[in-house]
A and B are shown apart, each in its own frame.
Chain A
Amino acid sequence: MLEEVLFAGFGGQGILSSGMLLAYAAMAEGLHVAWVPSYGPEMRGGTANCGVTVSDLPISSPLVAEPTTLIAMNRPSLDRFEGDVVPGGLVLYNASLIDREVLRTDVRVLAVKANEEAERLGSVRVATNVMLGAFLAITGAASLRSAAEALQKVLPPHRHSLIPANERALEAGARIASRISSKLGLWGPGIGSVQP
C-alpha cells in the first residue's frame, strides 16, 4: 500500500493539521509515514499545502510530486495541482469554494460541499477533516477511529474543545463517501466521477 496525498488550500483551513492527523493515524496503525509542509510566507490567507506519504514499506522520497490523491480545498489549489495527480488517482474537492468541475477524465473524482457540511456540524474550521473522513472511507489508508484518536495529539490543549466537532466531521465525510460509493460502485477498479 502506498498513498501519496496532497492536501492543498489556503492558510487557516487546517490543511497542515488535517495532513498531520492522517500521518498520526497511519503511524498508530504501524505504517510508515512522512509529512512535508509547504506554505506561502503568510500564515493566514496565503496558500498552504502539505504532502503526506503512507506506506507499508519504508519511504524513500517523502516529497509528493505526483499525488495518488489530491484534496483540493479551494479553486487555486485545484487549478495548480489537478494536472499532477497520477492517472487512476483520486481528486477530492471542496465544492463549497470550487465553482468548476475537474477536467481530467482519467482520475476518480468526488465533490463534497465541505464548508456547508462543516458549518452544519458547528464550525467551518473542520471542513478539511470532512474531506479527510471521505478519503479514509474510500482508501482505507487508516481507520476513522485512529484518526479520531489522533486528534488529541494534533490539536493543542487549548483547542481540545473542538475534538467532538472534528470527530463529527470525519464521520460525516466517511458517510458521504460510503453513501455515494455504494450507490454508484464508484471506487472499484473503474473510473468514476461524482460532481455537482
Chain B
Amino acid sequence: MIYLQLFWSFFRIEFFTFGGGYAAIPLIKNVIVDENQWITLSDFTDLITISEMTPGPIAVNSATFVGMQIAGPLGAIVSTIGCVLPSILFVSILSYIFLKFGNLSIIQGILSGLRPAVVGLIAQAGFAILVMTVWGSDGITFNASSLNIWALILFLACFIVMRKFKPNPIYVMAGSGVLSLIIHQFA
C-alpha cells in the first residue's frame, strides 16, 4: 500500500528531525533515496535546490514532491500529513511539560547530544552529494575519465564564495547553474 508507506516514511523523517533546516536533509536522503529508492540522489539534490528557491520547510517540500512523483496528488497529501503529525504530537507534549515544570532542561540535555550528531549526519549527506556531483553515481574512482573537472571547479568556487562573502545560498546555487551553462557553451 503505497499511500501508507509514503505516510509512514515522512512521519518517521519528521519524528527524528531535530533542529530544523538542514537537519532534515540526511533523514530524507536516508528514507527516500537509500531505503525506498523513490528518487535518485541526483533528483534529491535538485530537490534541495528547488527547496532553497521556493518558500516552505524542506521536509514539506520533499513530501509534496516525492508524494506527487510516486503516487500523484493523493500521494502528496498523505505524505504532507505524515510530515506534519509528529510536529502536532511533540509540540503538544512539550507544551504540557513546559506548563508543568516551567522549563525544558531535560529536553535541552537530549538536544545537546543530538546537535553534534546532526552535524555529522549533514556532513555525510553533503559528502555523498559532493561525490555524486564530481564523480557520478558510482562513487570515488581513480579513473580520470569519470572525474567531472568542471563540477569540481564550480564546487570550489562556490565554496570559497560562501565562506568569504556569506551570501544568500540561493544566489550561489543560481550562479553555479548559470556558470555551468556558460562553461558548456564554450568548453
Verify that A and B bind, or say they do not.
Answer: no
